[in-house]
Amino acid sequence: MTREFVGLPSPLVVHATADECVYDSDARAIFDALAAPDRTLDFVKDTHYLPNSRPHAADLIDAWVRAR
């Protein structure tokens, strides 16, 4: 896969590891396709839509935004 998504300056990918439709390898492929040097990939141990981990995911997003 070639690097794409050049217009995203510092993208964040948050992935639920127990998602039954989008696999960890898919999240990694999306992350690897990002051309930005400042890119972040975080894995959250939960299922699709993060029903049990929304506060944790929000904390990840908050920390990511604050760092920028």
Question: Residue 4: which pLDDT band, with cuts at 50, 70 and 90?
Answer: low
pTM of the model: 0.81
Cite the DSSP H helix spans in 1-68.
Answer: 24-33, 54-66
58 vs 56: CA distance, rounded Å: 5
Domain boundaries, the chain: 12-66
Residue 1's pLDDT is 54
Question: Residue 3: which pLDDT band, with cuts at 50, 70 and 90?
Answer: low
Other Cβ atoms less than 10 A from the Cβ of 39: the count is 17
Question: Residue 5: which pLDDT band, with cuts at 50, 70 and 90?
Answer: low
Strand partners, 43: 15
Is 34 in a helix, a strand, or coil? strand
